[in-house]
Amino acid sequence: MGTNPYDWEHQKERRDWDRRLIAGGPIPCRRCGRPVYPDRLRHLNHDGMKFDLGHPDPGQVGKAPEHATDNRAAGGREGRRRTQQPASQEWW
């Protein structure tokens, strides 16, 4: 079984990002490009939700704040992509 991607280290990293957003202002969501605001200003996010700390796609480095709806939609697309791949030869 793999490690929990939302363990205490992930939670600490998310809190650190929230502090950075409070201190330095919003940053662009790497999914949609619109600003991502800290949790206390979540009403300014286009979806009105707290940000998600998104995992990197191929070619990207590190986790970064993303709008929750953008992050979860990307996760859904990735899940569909993985489940729609043809079975390997060993399953035939």
**C-alpha separations of 56 from 41, 61, 92 in Å:** 24, 6, 33
Q: State the pLDDT confidence band at 91, using cuts at 50, 70 and 90.
A: low
Q: What's the mean pLDDT in 14-30?
A: 97
pLDDT of 92 reads: 57
Whole-model pTM? 0.79
Give the whole-angstrom CA distance, residue 64 versus residue 17.
Answer: 8
CB proximity list for 42: less than 8 A, separation 6 or greater: 48, 49, 50, 51
